[in-house]
Structure 1
Amino acid sequence: MSGRLAILASGRGSNLQAILDAIADGSLGAGIVGVFSDRPDAAALQRVAGPLRWSADAKSFPDRAGFDAALADAVDALRPDWVVCAGYMRILGAPFVERFRGRLLNIHPSLLPKYRGLRTHARALAAGDAEHGASVHFVVPELDAGTVIAQARIPIEPGDTPESLAHRLLPREHALYLAVLRLAAAGRLAERDGHVVLDGQPIFSPLLLDSTGKLLPVPTEPK
């Protein structure tokens, strides 16, 4: 089992709450060893007990590297199996990423490699896309460029706005992250040579979340 999770969060913590709920109801065999934030007033911190909270104002550090080093030391001290970005809004520097490489996950609200960065819902609408979605990926130093593990897709409907699209996608984001974390916590997920490795075998395209919240079968050969 590989179920010790360190959560990085900057905002309200909806993905964190979904993880907490799944742990509580037994559908995720994991435990949270700490919640870490660059914003001491982040609502996400209030979702866990005081001893599990770590925060520091990133602006109080002389540079990005100093904050990242303090964050990395705090995370590493708790010996997590996985470091899970759940609405963490700061770009992690290369030294942090390399320290936890292969066990550092992020969820991004687009069908990567489309729409890295911000304003993904508006950009999908502006492009006239027929569908939108979310991706869970391994984190690398380049923004939103790591190997994609799994995706959830939703249709874009007539009259959608960025707000309505985000609202419809959010529960699918939660289900997607939980599905990937179940694999991770069970020791079934890894990264090797730029490929996702599931049950010891590389996979060559992202897993897809079905309507029941389960990941679809994995292709066994490269396309």
Structure 2
Amino acid sequence: MGANYRCVLLTSDRPDLADAAETFARKRFNVRHVSRHARDEREFPRAAAAAIASGDVDFLLNYLAPMIVPAGVLGCVRREAVNFHPASPAWPGVGSASYALYHGDSMFGVTAHRMTSRVDAGDIVRVIRFPVRPDDTCETLFDRALGATLSLFYQVCEELVSVGQLCPSGDRWERAAITRAEFEQWMTLSATDPPGEIARKVRALRHSRLPGPFFEIDGVRVEVPRNRDSGGASKGESSFRDRCGLTQSTRGKHD
């Protein structure tokens, strides 16, 4: 156990990743609190805040937990508060894999950074990068990123054990963190969008476990049906309406 360092660990509720991260951390630190959180949770756990408020927690490790850590909590961590972001420094915030696919990035990755009061804005301490494959979807790219975060977590923990602190890697965030509201707006298609734009966003956003993309016609916002192929978009607006099942009678059900 590294110098008997004390840590608080927050993880996602995905069992394979959370189990591995917790097991690894417990072998190296005195873990004062660990909790798992669903992707829609926003409130910082009170038990974690209480443990950190004691003033003897050296490290706060946020491994894919979705909530923002309050500034007051960060200020009570003795050494390092580290977040593990499942994307490269090019894409802070939400929707990272989708934006990378949409913009045709050749590389993706995962980022460990110090936490500040601003989301995905603190000093970057380590990055793992890997190529985007020609056949990648949002789902395959994001799943590979999640797997890479575990390797990143191991590397950062080993450095904390051996050194007790982290050094900036020299990497820089390339933009401000993309917000949930901005991503939701970007996910929304229109029947007047060019066919190529529709196809690119469907490829960039389609995921079997997450919603989107959506279309909005005449003020109605509905998820693009999953049994429809984006290739038909080239036939134009009327084809897009038919492909999405947005007939006049269907629209009436949503009014």
How far 1:20 moved relative to its partner?
A: 3.4
Q: Is this contact kept in 1: 2:8–2:48, CA < 8 A?
A: no
Q: Is this contact kept in 2: 1:9–1:87, CA < 8 A?
A: yes
The residue aligned with 2:82 is 105
How far 1:30 moved relative to its partner?
A: 2.6
The alpha-carbon distance between structure 1 residues 204 and 108, as it changes in their structure 2 partners (threshold 3 A), is closer
Aligned residues: 168
Q: 2:134 aligns with which of 142, 151, 158?
A: 158
Q: 1:140 aligns with which of 116, 119, 122?
A: 116
How far 1:21 moved relative to its partner?
A: 3.8
The alpha-carbon distance between structure 1 residues 146 and 91, as it changes in their structure 2 partners (threshold 3 A), is same
Q: 2:163 aligns with which of 160, 184, 187?
A: 187
User: How many Å separate the matches in 2 of 1:101 and 1:148?
Assistant: 19
Secondary structure, counterpart of 2:163 in structure 1 = coil
Secondary structure, counterpart of 2:157 in structure 1 = helix
Larger Rg: 2
User: How many Å separate the matches in 1 of 2:25 and 2:68?
Assistant: 28
The residue aligned with 1:94 is 71
| Larger RCO, structure (CA 8 Å, separation 6 or more) | 1
Amino acid at match of 1:100: V
Q: Where in structure 1 are there 5+ consecutive unaligned residues?
A: 44-57, 191-195, 197-202, 207-223
User: How many Å separate the matches in 1 of 2:151 and 2:57?
Assistant: 22
How far 1:10 moved relative to its partner?
A: 4.4
Matched, 1:30 2:29: yes
The alpha-carbon distance between structure 1 residues 2 and 118, as it changes in their structure 2 partners (threshold 3 A), is farther
Alignment of 1:173-184 (within 5 A): 173-184=149-160
Secondary structure, counterpart of 1:9 in structure 2 = strand
The alpha-carbon distance between structure 1 residues 156 and 101, as it changes in their structure 2 partners (threshold 3 A), is farther
Q: Is this contact kept in 1: 2:59–2:78, CA < 8 A?
A: no
Q: Which has the higher helix share?
A: 2
Secondary structure, counterpart of 1:6 in structure 2 = strand
The residue aligned with 2:8 is 6
Amino acid at match of 2:52: V
Amino acid at match of 2:131: P
User: How many Å separate the matches in 1 of 2:16 and 2:48?
Assistant: 22
TM-score w.r.t. the length of structure 1 is 0.64
Over aligned residues, Cα RMSD in angstroms? 2.9
How far 1:186 moved relative to its partner?
A: 2.3
The alpha-carbon distance between structure 1 residues 188 and 71, as it changes in their structure 2 partners (threshold 3 A), is closer
Secondary structure, counterpart of 2:13 in structure 1 = coil
How far 1:101 moved relative to its partner?
A: 6.8
TM-score w.r.t. the length of structure 2 is 0.57
Q: Is this contact kept in 1: 2:61–2:81, CA < 8 A?
A: yes
